[in-house]
Amino acid sequence: MNRRHCASAAITLVCALSVLITPVQAFAEPAPPSASDARPGPGSKAPKKSLEEVRKEIDALYRKAGAATDAYNLAEEKAEKQSGEIVKLARAIVVGQSKIAELKSQAGAQAREQYRSGGLPPGAQFMLSDDPQLFLDGVSRVREGQQAAQGVLGELTRTQQDLETYTKDASANWKKLEANRVKQAKAKKKINAQIAAAKKLESQLKKEELARLLKLEQEAEYKQQTAWLSSGALKDINREASASGKKAVAFATAQIGKPYVWGAEGPKSYDCSGLTSQAWAAAGRPIPRTSQEQWRLLPHIAIKDMRPGDLIIYHGDASHVGMYVGDGAIVHAPRPGRNVTLAGAGSMQILGVVRPDK
C-alpha cells in the first residue's frame, strides 16, 4: 500500500472512530400533527428544533456570512486600490501645476524680451541688415525663437490638458472609493448580523448539546468525504507539488490551530481566503484576495490533475476555499468559532480547482 492510500485510510479511520465513540443521542422524528396541534393555542410554544436542524441552520448562517465576507474583502481591496490611485494622481497634479508655473514664466520672459526689442523677436533686427551673413543669421535666430515659443506654448497646452485629465481621473476614483466604502459598510453589517444570529443559536444550547453539535458537523463532513472518495475522485491523483506549491503548503499548515476571524490575513488569525492568499504570497506568487476572485482569475484545473498547493473552491457561489495538501485532505480556515485545521477535500460541495502557479 503506497503512502497516499495509507494516509487516506488513516484519515478515514480517524473519522470513523470519532463517529463510533460519540454517544448516540436519539432525536425522535416528530409525530404527524393532529387536528388539535394544527393551530397552537394562545401562549403555546413552537415545536423545539432537533439538533440536526439547528446544525443546518447555523451552517447556513455561517455560509451566508462567508459570502458577505468575500464581498467585504473585495470592496476593501478595491478601496485600497482606489486610494493608491488617488495618491498617485494627486502627486501628478502637484508636478503638473509646478510645470505649468515654470512654462508660464518662460513664456512671460519671451514676451518681455520682445517688448524690449520694440516688439520684434530677438534677431529680427539682423534681417534688416544689408550684410548677407548678418541677414542669414537673423533669419536663423528668428526661426529658432519662433520654434522655442511654439515649443513652450505647445508644452504648456499639453501640460494643462494632462492636468485636467488627472483631475477628472482623481474625481472618478474618489467616487469609486466612496462607492466601495458603502459596499464595505453594507457587507460588514450583513456579516455581523449573520454571525450574531448563529452565535445566538449556539448560546441557547447546553454544554452537552454543543459537544454533540460538533460531532454532528464531523459526521456530516465524514459522510461527504466518504462519498467523494467512493466516487473514485482520488484515483491516480499522486502528483508532486511544485517548488512554489511546497512553500505555500508549508506556510498554510504552519497556521493550523490559529482562529478564524473574518477579514483577517494573519499573522494571528485568518479567514479562508486570507489563509490561501497569504500562503501563496509567502511562496512568492501573489494571488487575488478573495475566494471568488481566486476562482474567477486563476487557471482552472481538473480534479484528476490536482496537486498539493492547488486551491479547491467550494459551494456554488465560490464563498469558501481550502488548499489541497495531498492524500485527499485540505488545510482551511472553516468559519467563526473554529480554527485553521485539516479536513477532507470532499467534505464540502466542490465547485472546482485552481492553480496559482500554472
Block residue for cell numbers 484528476 = 304
Q: Stretch 222-247: mean pLDDT, rounded?
A: 88
Alpha carbon dihedral 56, 58, 63, 64, in 10-degree steps, equals 120
Instruction: Compute the distance between CA of residue 59 and CA of residue 54 in angstroms, rounded to an integer.
Output: 8
Would you list the domain boundaries of the chain?
A: 1-19+50-230, 239-358
Mean pLDDT of the chain: 74
CATH architecture classification, 1-19+50-230: Orthogonal Bundle (1.10)
Q: How confident is the model at residue 108 (pLDDT cuts 50, 70, 90)?
A: low
Binned at pLDDT 50, 70 and 90, residue 29 comes out as very low
Q: Are 308 and 324 in contact (CB under 8 A)?
A: yes
**Helices 51-116 and 272-282, packing angle to 10 deg:** 50
Tell me the per-residue pLDDT of 176-213, one tens digit each, with 9 for 90 and over: 777 767 776 777 777 777 777 777 877 777 888 888 87
pLDDT at residue 219, rounded to an integer? 85
What is the model's pTM? 0.55
Look at residue 151 and tell me whether its pLDDT is greater than 50. Answer: yes
pLDDT at 294 over 80: yes
Residues 6+ apart with CB under 8 A from 163: 93, 96, 97, 100
- pLDDT score recorded for residue 314: 95
pLDDT band at 5 (very low <50, low <70, confident <90, very high): very low
239-358: CATH topology is: endopeptidase fold (from Nostoc punctiforme) (3.90.1720)
pLDDT tens digits, one per residue of 297-336: 999 999 989 999 999 999 988 989 999 999 899 999 998 8
Q: What percent of the chain has pLDDT over 70?
A: 66
Number of C-beta neighbours around residue 179 at 10 A: 14
Q: Residue 128 has what pLDDT?
A: 47
